[in-house]
Amino acid sequence: MLKIINKSLQLLKKIPIDLAQEKMAKITKGKLIALSLVGQGKGKIVLDVGCREGYWSEILKQSGFRVISIDKEKMYKDCQRVDVNKGLPFEDFTFDIVWATEVLEHLNSPKDSIKEFNRVMKLNGKLILTTPNSYFFLMKLFHWLGIKPNKLQNIGHKHFFNLRDIKILFPHASIFGYFPYCIIKFKIKKLVGLLSPTFIIEKKKENISNHYV
């Protein structure tokens, strides 16, 4: 039974349905919604957290932003090697935008990292973040079969978020998702926890004394 399920999972990953994985990862509706929240780039500075090969750093540069790209490994020519788990080597109020797509689930302590993101943002700045929804309805079908999120998602994921988790981490943020997963895909704000495979978070700069909330 388990072998059949694993083969089914591999087949699903090859189908061009937008579940924010495999070939759809860079063009998923979730990332496009996140990009639409960025705004105008002229004169603004962005921190690209977990930049990997620099795909989004280059997109943001083309939009007129000055981009500082960081990652634990240097896979992009303009990347600065930074382990986010150990904090950020930047002064308070440095960035207009902190961009972190598919990063939060890999971190040791999301709560502490969000506090750091908030610290380095300028007043009126914002954090734009995406992370998988490990409990939207398609995933729940596998859960009912006894297959947990750690068997379904990337081996590097340390956290598996549901909507309640996201609301605890970001009580004052705007939380978006999308539905359906092919052809015409709509940005949604209702039923995000049930329908969307991805959480898109837009968090405005808050007083640093508020920590991560």
Class of domain 29-202: alpha beta
Give the residue ranges of the chain where pLDDT is below 70: 1-16, 22, 151, 206-213
Q: What is the pLDDT of residue 213?
A: 41
In total, the chain counts a number of residues equal to 213
**Are the C-beta atoms of residues 211 and 181 closer than 8 Å to each other?**
no
Q: Which residues of 167-181 are buried (b: 16+ CB within 10 A; e: fewer)?
A: eebbeebebbbbbeb
Q: Where are the domains of the chain?
A: 29-202
CA distance 10 to 176: 27
Q: What is the pLDDT of residue 211?
A: 43
Burial of 109 (0-12, 13-18, 19+ CB in 10 A): middle
Q: Of all helices (H) and strands (E), which one includes residue 13?
A: helix 2-14
Q: What is the pLDDT of residue 154?
A: 73
Residues 52-66 pLDDT 10s: 999 999 999 999 999
The long-range contacts involving 178-184, CB below 8 angstroms and separated by at least 24 positions, are 178/18, 178/29, 178/30, 178/33, 181/17, 181/18, 181/19, 182/16, 182/17, 182/18
Residues 112-146 pLDDT 10s: 999 999 999 999 999 999 999 999 998 887 777 77
SS3 content of the chain, % helix, strand, coil (to 5): 35, 25, 40
**Are the C-beta atoms of residues 172 and 143 closer than 8 Å to each other?**
no
Residue type, 96: D
Closest by CA position to 152, among listed 165, 167, 135: 135
Residues paired with 64 in a beta bridge: none
Q: What is the pLDDT of residue 102?
A: 94
Q: What is the pLDDT of residue 155?
A: 81
